[in-house]
């Protein structure tokens, strides 16, 4: 009987084992295999559970993967569930949680952390419809969220390799009731870096953990440069830390001991001024710098080199020398000098006198021109046979400049005058002799030399003006910079200047008196019909576009100032050719085809147009020549016609003299021809710059002058030369203030 009971018990035990085995085998073989892309809306139902992931599953194409409550999802080794473009809707319940676990998490197997991969939720997932709740996630590598904001509620994350949940700095996951146990990190892992947008850390129940580094809200503060690279032991320097997001700078620290810094006023988001101090015993070598700011502690590796005290040159006396000087004592001021310090000139040691830690001196040899390098060399106390050499200071060696004054002189022929010659230093023992030369001894003479007396810096030079014209008086000495004085000598019988219209006004508007006469006669004129000023030969000048009668109208009483004998000077830049008529004393040829720079008008309020015997003289200028016309009633002949090139791109000087009614022409200071006497008894100068319908002027006129007599050829040449060199006609300095 007892044996029968034993057999029955054994059979029951075997039946239970077989039943359990068959149940397990039925469970394993009943799993639904899943893998690959989910591209349409799909449901993993409880009826088909469990689901076994045999290869990565990726949700794409905006699909929704729905997992019903109570479903188990088993992952083979290393496999992942990724939400790419779409949604994961895995909503379990408290009574029927969803399980994500290892394929080995079943009877007869031993699961371990990291058996499978991750649940990955990526940037293109649908935040609003990606929800995982009431789920157990175990034996994998946790959840990864990248630039996404899913919802996690009531998750139990256990025995995962790594963090329970990992996020990046662009993700905002949220959820409540979550738990994490037995994971490598029972928390939400956050990487170091910058939060550059708006994010929310909304997962509750599991702590957020920054495992290493700093998370910065906004761009991390950073140091880009320190504007000095080294500091000497015992030295205090001002410096600038440059970077980004440096607002709220509080303190500075260094990796080397003995270095301190104080934040100065004036700090901004991009720069922080500091005062650095290296103690006399500070540790030598490269030091990192760390700056405490409101947004963190940026640093710069190897920002500053701490070095031993070095010889430093701060100034030289003198700092400039002339090549003629020798035996000059050079004083070098600086710091950290020692008795063994040596002054070096372009790398060559000089015999040096040590005065103090801040002063050295040496005698200089005769030097050539150029910039010389002055350094200080002294032994390195820590390394026998080595030397410190200071940064160089520049000693400028130049050629002595001579000077002569005045630089411009206008003088009357036969009247002596004085120039002053000077040197830039006191003349040595025995005085300093310099050379003098006149470029035109027939115009002005000077002695060949002059001696600047010992102890003096200047001497006077007598000048005799013997001729008429322009001349340069030069002072020179071998190896020195020469100087010149520009002398204009005019005839002792130079006729008076009756009118001078420089046309330097900045603009014209048709106002009476706006065009200024620079002489004491003050016969100011007025621009008419759109004549303008523009940059010209000297400062500004008058411009006329030739399209209509544009002009500058001068007071007619100018014709009262001179008759028959006078000189007109002006600069022209014609914009076209004109008609070259046959030279004659009686015709009306000037009524067409001309380009009148000065229109030959007549003051008919004073003289009868037809019967007075007076005619006005004017000048027509084209690129093909110059003509002088006289004008009265029924009378407009070309009394002087010269065919020759007149530039339309540059400026040409014109001089017309009338001597007892006979005109002569000079172009650029050179005589060209004499014309014929007109048929009228008296001829007077023009009072209209520009023209009327007989020949609208095109282009530029400048510097109209009227003299009450005939200028000599030498005087005309001198006036031309002076103005061509940018001076006034008489050689005085020209200013362009206008008027």
Residues 217, 199 contacting (CB under 8 angstroms): no
How far is it, in rounded angstroms, from Cα 475 to Cα 485? 9
The tens digit of pLDDT for each residue in 91-104 reads 999 999 999 999 99
Rounded-to-integer distance, Cα 555 and Cα 559, Å: 9
Taking residues 125-151, what's their average pLDDT? 97
Whole-prediction pTM value? 0.56
Give pLDDT tens digits for 139-170: 999 999 999 999 999 999 999 999 999 999 99
User: Among 393, 410, 285, which residue's Cα sits nearest to residue 344?
Assistant: 393
- Phi–psi pair at 723, nearest 5 degrees: -70, -35
pLDDT digits 0-9 by tens, 362-396: 999 989 899 999 999 999 998 999 999 999 999 99
* pLDDT, position 5: 43
Domain range 497-724, its CATH number among 2.60.120.200, 3.40.1350.10, 2.40.50.100, 3.40.50.2300: 2.60.120.200
Structure tokens at 289: 């710098």
| pLDDT score for 693 | 67
Cis? peptide before 81, omega within 30° of 0: no
- Ranking 13-22, 37-46, 239-248, 709-718 by mean pLDDT, the lowest is 13-22
Q: How confident is the model at residue 19 (pLDDT cuts 50, 70, 90)?
A: very low
Rounded mean pLDDT of the chain? Answer: 92
Higher pLDDT, 583 or 323: 583
**Is 104:135 a contact under the CB 8 Å cutoff?**
no
pLDDT of residue 28: 45
Residue 9 has pLDDT above 70, yes or no: no
Class at the top of the CATH hierarchy for domain 403-490? mainly beta
Percent of the chain residues topping a pLDDT of 90: 87
Which pLDDT belongs to residue 17? Answer: 43
| Predicted pLDDT at 738 | 56
Per-residue confidence at 558, pLDDT binned at 50, 70, 90?
Answer: very high
Tell me, what's the pLDDT at 353?
96
Closest CA relative to residue 694, chosen from 602, 595, 614: 595
Cα 510 to Cα 499: distance, rounded to the nearest angstrom: 20
How far apart (Å, rounded) are the C-alpha atoms in residues 235 and 255?
Answer: 18
pLDDT in tens, 166-208: 999 999 999 999 999 999 999 999 998 888 889 999 999 999 9
Residue 324 confidence (pLDDT): 76
Residue with tokens 């995962």: 160
User: Which SS3 state, helix, strand or coil, does residue 719 take?
Assistant: helix
Q: Mean pLDDT across the stretch 306-332?
A: 91
Residue 238, strand partner residues: 275
User: Looking up tokens 């009614």, which residue turns up?
Assistant: 661
- Reported as a single tens digit per residue, the pLDDT across 663-707 is 999 999 999 999 999 999 999 999 999 976 688 999 999 999 999
CATH no. for 222-307: 2.60.40.10
737 — pLDDT class (breaks 50, 70, 90): low
β strands within 446-524, DSSP E: 449-452, 458-465, 469-476, 483-490, 497-501
The pLDDT value given to residue 220: 85
Check residue 27 and give its pLDDT. 42
7 pLDDT more than 50: no
**Strand pairing class (614-622; 625-631):** antiparallel
Residue that has been written with the tokens 């282009």 in this structure: 699
The mean pLDDT of 313-335, rounded to a whole number, is: 90
The 10s digit of each residue's pLDDT in 255-289 is 999 999 999 999 999 999 999 999 999 999 999 99
Per-residue pLDDT tens digits for 43-68:
999 999 999 999 999 999 999 999 99
* 688 touches 595 (CB < 8 A): no
Q: Find out whether 46 and 67 touch, Cβ atoms under 8 Å.
A: no
State the pLDDT confidence band at 29, using cuts at 50, 70 and 90.
very low
pLDDT of residue 365: 92
What is the C-alpha to C-alpha distance for residues 40 and 35, in angstroms, rounded to an integer? 14
User: CB count, 10 Å around CB of 25?
Assistant: 10
Residues with Cβ within 8 Å of 89's Cβ and at least 6 positions away in sequence, in order, are 64, 65, 66, 67, 129, 130, 131
């Amino acid at each position: 009987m007892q044996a029968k009971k034993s057999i029955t018990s054994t059979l029951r035990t075997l039946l239970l084992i077989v039943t359990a085995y068959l149940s397990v085998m039925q469970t394993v073989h009943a799993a639904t295999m899943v893998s690959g892309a989910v591209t349409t809306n799909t449901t993993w139902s409880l009826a088909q559970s469990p689901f076994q992931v045999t290869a990565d599953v990726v949700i794409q194409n905006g699909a929704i993967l729905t997992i019903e409550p109570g479903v188990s999802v088993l992952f083979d080794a290393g496999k992942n569930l990724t939400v790419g473009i779409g949604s994961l809707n895995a909503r379990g319940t408290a009574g029927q949680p969803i399980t994500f676990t290892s394929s080995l998490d079943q009877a007869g197997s031993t699961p371990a952390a990291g058996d499978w991969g991750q649940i990955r939720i990526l940037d293109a997932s649908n935040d609003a419809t990606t929800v995982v709740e009431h789920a157990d996630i175990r034996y994998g590598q946790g959840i990864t969220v990248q630039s996404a904001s899913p919802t996690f509620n009531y998750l139990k994350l256990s025995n995962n390799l790594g963090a329970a949940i990992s996020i990046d700095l662009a993700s905002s996951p949220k959820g409540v009731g979550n738990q994490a146990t037995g994971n490598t990190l029972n928390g939400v892992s956050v990487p170091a870096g910058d939060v550059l947008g708006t994010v929310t850390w909304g997962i509750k129940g599991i702590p957020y953990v920054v495992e290493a580094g700093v998370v910065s809200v906004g761009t991390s503060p950073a140091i880009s440069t320190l504007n000095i690279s080294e500091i000497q032991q015992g030295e205090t320097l001002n410096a600038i830390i440059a970077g980004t997001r440096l607002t709220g700078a509080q303190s500075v620290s260094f990796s080397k001991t003995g270095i301190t810094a104080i934040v100065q006023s004036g700090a901004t988001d991009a720069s922080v001024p500091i005062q650095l101090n290296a103690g006399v015993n500070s540790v030598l070598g490269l030091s990192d710098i760390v700056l405490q700011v409101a947004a963190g502690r940026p640093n710069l590796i190897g920002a500053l080199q701490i070095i031993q005290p070095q010889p430093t040159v701060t100034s030289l006396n003198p700092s400039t020398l002339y090549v003629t000087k020798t035996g000059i004592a050079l004083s070098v001021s600086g710091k950290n000098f020692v008795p063994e310090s040596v002054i070096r000139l372009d790398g060559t040691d000089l015999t040096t006198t040590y005065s103090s830690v801040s002063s050295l001196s040496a005698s200089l040899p005769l030097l050539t021109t150029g910039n010389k390098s002055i350094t200080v060399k002294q032994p390195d106390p820590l390394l026998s046979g080595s030397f410190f050499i200071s940064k160089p200071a520049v000693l400028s060696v130049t050629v002595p400049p001579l000077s002569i004054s005045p630089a411009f002189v206008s003088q009357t022929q036969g009247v002596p005058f004085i120039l002053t010659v000077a040197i830039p230093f006191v003349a040595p023992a025995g005085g300093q002799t310099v050379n003098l030369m006149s470029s035109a001894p027939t115009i002005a003479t000077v002695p060949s030399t002059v001696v600047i007396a010992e102890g003096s810096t200047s001497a006077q030079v007598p000048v005799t003006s013997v001729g008429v014209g322009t001349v340069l008086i030069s002072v020179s000495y071998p190896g020195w910079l020469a100087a010149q004085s520009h002398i204009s000598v005019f005839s002792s019988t130079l006729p008076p200047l009756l009118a001078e219209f420089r046309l330097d006004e900045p603009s014209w508007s048709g106002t009476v008196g706006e065009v200024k006469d620079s002489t004491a006669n003050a016969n100011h004129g007025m621009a008419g019909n759109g004549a303008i000023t523009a940059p010209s030969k000297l400062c500004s000048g008058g411009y006329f576009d030739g399209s209509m009668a544009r002009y500058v109208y001068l007071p007619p009483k100018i014709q009262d100032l001179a008759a028959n004998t006078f000189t007109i000077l002006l600069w022209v830049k014609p914009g076209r050719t004109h008609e070259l008529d046959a030279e004659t004393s009686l015709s009306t040829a000037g009524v067409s085809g001309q380009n009148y720079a000065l229109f030959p008008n007549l003051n008919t309020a004073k003289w009868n147009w037809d019967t007075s015997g007076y005619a006005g003289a004017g000048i027509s200028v084209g690129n093909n020549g110059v003509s002088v016309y006289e004008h009265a009633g029924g009378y407009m002949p070309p009394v002087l016609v010269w065919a020759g090139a007149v530039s339309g791109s540059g400026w040409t000087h014109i001089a017309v003299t009338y001597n007892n009614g006979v005109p002569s022409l000079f172009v650029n200071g050179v005589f060209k021809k004499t014309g014929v006497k007109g048929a009228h008894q008296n001829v007077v100068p023009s009072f209209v710059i520009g023209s009327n319908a007989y020949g609208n002027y095109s282009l530029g006129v400048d510097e109209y002058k009227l003299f009450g007599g005939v200028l000599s050829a030498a005087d005309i040449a001198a006036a031309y030369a002076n103005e061509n060199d940018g001076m006034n006609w008489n050689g005085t300095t020209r200013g362009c203030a206008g008027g």
